[in-house]
Amino acid sequence: MSVQLSEVLPHKISIYDTTLRDGTQMEGINFSLEDKLRIAKRLDHLGVHYIEGGWPGSNPKDSRFFEEMKNIRLNHARITAFGSTRHAKIAVDKDPNIQALLAAQTGTICIFGKTWDLHVKEALNIFLEENLVMIRESVGYLKQHGKEVIYDAEHFFDGYKSNPRYALSTLEAAMEAGADTIVLCDTNGGSIPQEIEAAIVMVKKVIKIPLGIHSHNDSDMAVANTITAVKMGCCHVQGTINGYGERCGNANLCSIIPNLKLKLSIACIDDAQLKSLTEVSRYVSELANMVPQTHQPFVGASAFAHKGGIHVSAIKKNTRTYEHIQPELVGNSRRILISELAGQSSILHKAEEYKIDLSKNTIDVRKILQKVKELEDAGYQFEGADASLELLMKKTVGDYKPSFILKDFQVVVEKKENEIRSKATITIEVNDEVEHTVAEGDGPVDALGKALRKALEGFYPILKGAHLTDYKVRVLDAKDGTAAKVRVLIESSDINEIWGTVGVSENLIEASYQALRDSIEYVLHRKSANISA
């Protein structure tokens, strides 16, 4: 089968976001009403054309969402209510689901109906013809009330494989009843691009209204299937931010949008909106309480991260050597990682970033490179610990003076009855003045961190604005059992910045102290008046 791309490729695509409905079906995600309202505003700013807010009537939160959205003005998107065709044996004007959709008072309504004969017979337990009547009556009734109706043909591709004639007849029923767009759904996510292409060729012979695509990712094909559908002429694309969704997720709009715009030159959002894509991705991750996917294409923190020395050297000459697009186009940024694979180019790039004066082939560059390789061999990892790396480089070139000197610390964990208490005492010296403090915490590391900050905040009030946001422990050489070396990575932040630090030791508390110390030293060196941020 040969299809000329120029003959079918749409000039413009409508982006339909279902993060607030389909995305919430992902295990571990539960947006509050306020979360949904905030995300809707960000999606509108991104420039999507439809925001599916939820299923009105299915739960109080979704009903309140549609009420609240009546008072919020959007610049681009149309809020869409989602539901199903009428129930079997219930008249359409009496069906509570249909009436709840109308009560949401959205200009656009999306309803799904059964396409796969298996579902009609076994899930609905009705005759095939009755399902067609349900589709016609539901779409027609909503059109009579002046709504834009998007019809989601649930399980279309599985239905087409099972009974192509019946699957196509369900689409014809929706078209004849007045549907504005028919969306072909790969609900089980089991199709591959060739199957998508073959089915759409046949659909276009009988359906003469705009087509859309809704793909799930159970075969890791959701984005590829979506792009294939667009290349076959579909002009309406459904998906979620970060690919959130039930089971393996939905088609990921954070990949689909830049592929459409940058690779296929199809208008979907404008250049300025595209630059907010990474920010939106991370914003939704934050509200979903999900760890951002570091290696996610386009928007992941590692999407434009370079580690090998040869790569870094080439990137500095021409970024096209190892990057398929400019990261700034999607609001991301290039990162040069320092590791045992690093070369002089990596060190010089980091020195420039940290405002450290280094020249190529100098003894300081070689010292830093050697030190990094020695430390990584000992178990350190600087990929997520830029702050520790910056301090290391400053120490090597003599641009570092410790802000405090540790004299000693002690950590005690005590269990009384069913309660565990952790207490830390620490002694430090600042400018020949000795400070001794005690603090309790939820655990030994928490207690130690609180004691250290308590001792230092009187000397350095700037520390009050910084706090620990993440703590990770990795066991190295597990074969050594309880004597194994551990690596601790700590993430800290203030109102403007996030930074990472690392510590390694056979003793967990010592490794934690190293990372805590670097976190504080970074603030005092980078944020103080002596060293420009």
C-alpha angle 161-260-221 in degrees, rounded to nearest 5: 35
Distance CA 501, CA 452 (A): 16
Residue with tokens 């991705």: 281
**For the whole prediction, is pTM greater than 0.75?**
no
CB-neighbour burial class of residue 111 (10 A; exposed 0-12, middle 13-18, buried 19+): buried
Q: Is residue 228's pLDDT more than 60?
A: yes
Contact 170, 132 (CB under 8 A): yes
Identify the residue with better confidence: 374 or 211: 211
In the chain, where the domains are located = 8-269, 305-397, 405-526
Contacting residues for 365 by C-beta, under 8 A, at least 6 apart: 344, 347, 348, 351, 358, 359
CB-neighbour burial class of residue 203 (10 A; exposed 0-12, middle 13-18, buried 19+): buried
Closest CA to 54 of 81, 19, 26: 81
Confidence of residue 76 (pLDDT cuts 50, 70, 90): very high
SS3 at position 434 = strand
Distance CA 75, CA 66 (A): 17
Distance CA 513, CA 19 (A): 41
**Mean pLDDT of the chain, nearest integer:** 90
Q: Is residue 338's pLDDT more than 70?
A: no
Mean pLDDT of 318-322: 87
Confidence of residue 513 (pLDDT cuts 50, 70, 90): very high
Closest CA to 137 of 81, 71, 92, 197: 92
- What is the CATH architecture assignment of 8-269? Alpha-Beta Barrel (3.20)
Q: Is residue 101's pLDDT more than 60?
A: yes
Cα 133–chain centre separation: 41
Q: pLDDT by residue (tens digit) across 104-125? A: 999 999 999 999 999 999 999 9
SS3 at position 455 = helix
What pLDDT, on a 0 to 100 scale, did the predictor assign at position 530? 40
Which tokens is 417 given? 């009855």
Q: pLDDT by residue (tens digit) across 382-410? A: 877 888 988 988 888 887 888 999 999 99
What pLDDT, on a 0 to 100 scale, did the predictor assign at position 360? 65
What pLDDT, on a 0 to 100 scale, did the predictor assign at position 363? 85
Contact 499, 435 (CB under 8 A): no
What pLDDT, on a 0 to 100 scale, did the predictor assign at position 282? 87
Task: Provide the β-strand partners of residue 498.
Answer: 493
Closest CA to 452 of 521, 526, 401, 383: 521
Q: Is residue 185's pLDDT more than 80?
A: yes
Q: Is residue 481's pLDDT more than 70?
A: no
Q: Highest mean pLDDT range out of 53-62, 144-153, 362-371, 442-451?
A: 144-153
Phi-psi region of 17 (alpha: psi -120 to 50; beta: other; left: phi over 0): beta
Phi-psi region of 344 (alpha: psi -120 to 50; beta: other; left: phi over 0): alpha
Q: Is residue 216's pLDDT more than 90?
A: yes
What pLDDT, on a 0 to 100 scale, did the predictor assign at position 532? 38
Which tokens is 8 given? 């079918």
Closest CA to 234 of 211, 207, 200, 202: 211
Identify the residue with better confidence: 358 or 180: 180
What pLDDT, on a 0 to 100 scale, did the predictor assign at position 529? 37
Closest CA to 29 of 323, 285, 349: 285
Q: Is residue 533's pLDDT more than 80?
A: no
Q: Is residue 307's pLDDT more than 80?
A: no
Q: Is residue 340's pLDDT more than 80?
A: no
CATH superfamily of 405-526: Alpha-isopropylmalate synthase LeuA, regulatory domain (3.30.160.270)
Cβ neighbours of 461 (radius 10 Å): 9
Q: pLDDT by residue (tens digit) across 247-268? A: 999 999 999 999 999 999 998 9
| DSSP H or E stretch at residue 172 | helix 164-176
Total residue count of the chain as it appears in this document: 533
Confidence of residue 521 (pLDDT cuts 50, 70, 90): very high
CATH number attached to the domain at 305-397: 1.10.238
Lowest mean pLDDT among 80-94, 449-463, 479-493: 479-493
Contact 217, 241 (CB under 8 A): no
